[in-house]
Structure 1
Amino acid sequence: MPTKPPIRSRHWRYLLDRDVRQAGLVSLLVFLLSGGLVWLAYVIHVVRVAARSPLAPPRRMVTLVFGQRLQHEQPATDYRQRLQRALTLARAECTDHLLLLGGRGEGQCSEAAAGQAWLRQHGVPEQLRLELEEESTDSLENLRHARQLLQAQAGEAPPPAVVLVSSRYHLARCMLLARRLGMVAVPVAAEDVLPWHPRYLLQLLGEASYLMWIDVGLRWADLIGNRRMAARIS
């Protein structure tokens, strides 16, 4: 069986995609024509979601943990924070089903498998149901594959509501994609509080730009009736 190319190399395919380029061009025009005000609104939204996301769900729920590129086959700082939050939820019996998301990067170990190893090293409860989703390359595929797994397990019943565990800067994008995919989701933040150091601020600004690219592109697709483009996130 042929080995799939690593996540990093597969990201380049988006730059060759005409729908992605069209969405980027429309977003740039909106940015210029609004004098940056539309982008500022996305910044405010990303920061608001980042600051207000809770540390635990309102009830016991299936929990999805977003992976991140590994460093030397091990979870990096942001990913470890996500895993620690998931471990805290499991120990507090806020979840009995963890689904770790993330495919293979440049190494041989998938992000999900590295997360599973980390959780087991740190004493994950034995009764916890721990599943891996190792085929995805980005947040959209994370959620799409998770939805397929949960739908298959639910059978004819509706798939369950889920908790999305990720870094605070990432949660606005996760929630937008989940809603677009028809998932009922609750955000839970990896960090106890919103960090305000320069690196994190840059991440928030980058996420706002990416969120604007996705959302404006989808709105444009709906406006012009481009079903192919709109179906990219469905």
Structure 2
Amino acid sequence: MSTSYSPFRDGPWRHLGDRDVWHSLTVSALAVALTGGLLWVWFVLRTLVLAQRAPLAPATAQTLLLFGKRLAGEAIDADYAARIERVRSLLAGRPYALLLLGGRTGAGLSEAAAALARLREQGLPADANVRCEDASTDTLENLRNARDLLGGAAATPVALVSNRYHLPRCLLLARSLGFDAQIVAAEPRLRWTPALLARIALEASYCLWFDIGRRWARLIGHRRMVDRVT
């Protein structure tokens, strides 16, 4: 059995055989076409605004959810390092509960375990309230598993910590799953680069697909599709 990462087994392409995915993609594409692309433009602008305005600390949340990011071997890239550093700085100010999210996409460490190792290198207190969720491979699974682990605490405010471009999707999914969620940005500010704009466009497309697919499923009473996103 191969233990290396495969996009067809571990990544988003693994859903291509799922009829509900094709159903929601088709409806979303039709919605974009019928609005002459304006619906997609609105989602891009909304994603940009949320990404730019994301605060650097939670308003009321006592629990931090740190989203993992795919490792290069067992190495943490710059985006993931920024997420971990934001959590470290928050924990230095007050004793938040921390849930590290992210499973394995290969044979090495899970994303959650890699973040925990980095935090310990940076002086994480031995008595810190930290748990790991390392059974997930995407953002929706991150949040579903987090909801299970938190139990009743999932109904209290939680702070979603990630890169600015990723936060709009995190917030949309978290609220769909019933979280009282706030967002916290890893980076001090949004850096306007071609790569960032490409990420914003991709994230806006994810958000459009999820939101329109969910609304359509509710409209037609498709219970299975609704259950998968709530």
- 1:69 alignment partner AA: R
Query: Does residue 107 of structure 1 match 2:107?
Result: yes
Q: Distance in 2 between matches of 1:133 and 1:4?
A: 20
- Percent of aligned pairs sharing the same letter: 46
Q: Distance in 1 between matches of 2:65 and 2:154?
A: 17
User: Is the Cα–Cα contact under 8 Å of residues 7 and 137 in structure 1 kept in the other structure?
Assistant: no
Superposed counterparts of 1:35-54, under 5 Å: 35-54=36-55
Q: Distance in 2 between matches of 1:158 and 1:112?
A: 19
Instruction: Give, in angstroms, the shift of residue 6 of structure 1.
Output: 5.2
User: What whole-Å deviation, never above 9, does each CA across 1:40-88 have from its counterpart, x for those lacking one?
Assistant: 1101111111011100012451100000000120211111100000001
Query: Does residue 20 of structure 1 match 2:16?
Result: no
Instruction: Give, in angstroms, the shift of residue 13 of structure 1.
Output: 2.5
- 2:22 alignment partner AA: R
Q: Distance in 1 between matches of 2:178 and 2:72?
A: 33
Instruction: Give, in angstroms, the shift of residue 201 of structure 1.
Output: 0.8
Q: Secondary structure at the match of 1:71?
A: coil
Q: Secondary structure at the match of 1:179?
A: helix
Please point out which of 204, 210, 213 is paired with 1:217: 213
What is the TM-score with the length of structure 1 in the denominator?
0.92
Q: Secondary structure at the match of 1:99?
A: strand
Instruction: Give, in angstroms, the shift of residue 5 of structure 1.
Output: 8.3
Q: Distance in 2 between matches of 1:177 and 1:44?
A: 18
Q: Distance in 2 between matches of 1:69 and 1:159?
A: 28
Residue 32 (structure 1) aligns with = 33
Q: Distance in 2 between matches of 1:147 and 1:7?
A: 27
Q: Distance in 2 between matches of 1:185 and 1:5?
A: 34
Residue 122 (structure 1) aligns with = 122
Q: Distance in 1 between matches of 2:6 and 2:101?
A: 13
User: What whole-Å deviation, never above 9, does each CA across 1:107-166 have from its counterpart, x for those lacking one?
Assistant: 321000011111111112333211110001100110110110110xx4xx7743211000
Judge which range, 126-135 or 37-46, deviates more: 126-135
Gap regions ≥5 residues in structure 2: none
Superposed counterparts of 1:46-125, under 5 Å: 46-59=47-60, 61-93=62-94, 95-125=95-125
- 2:130 alignment partner AA: L
Instruction: Give, in angstroms, the shift of residue 10 of structure 1.
Output: 2.7
Residue 131 (structure 2) aligns with = 131
What is the TM-score with the length of structure 2 in the denominator?
0.93
Q: Secondary structure at the match of 1:104?
A: coil
User: What whole-Å deviation, never above 9, does each CA across 1:25-45 have from its counterpart, x for those lacking one?
Assistant: 111111111111000110111
User: Is the Cα–Cα contact under 8 Å of residues 154 and 180 in structure 2 kept in the other structure?
Assistant: no
Instruction: Give, in angstroms, the shift of residue 202 of structure 1.
Output: 0.4
- 2:205 alignment partner AA: S
Q: Distance in 1 between matches of 2:226 and 2:84?
A: 33
- 1:223 alignment partner AA: L
Instruction: Give, in angstroms, the shift of residue 217 of structure 1.
Output: 0.5
Q: Distance in 1 between matches of 2:135 and 2:163?
A: 21
RMSD: 1.9
Q: Secondary structure at the match of 2:64?
A: strand
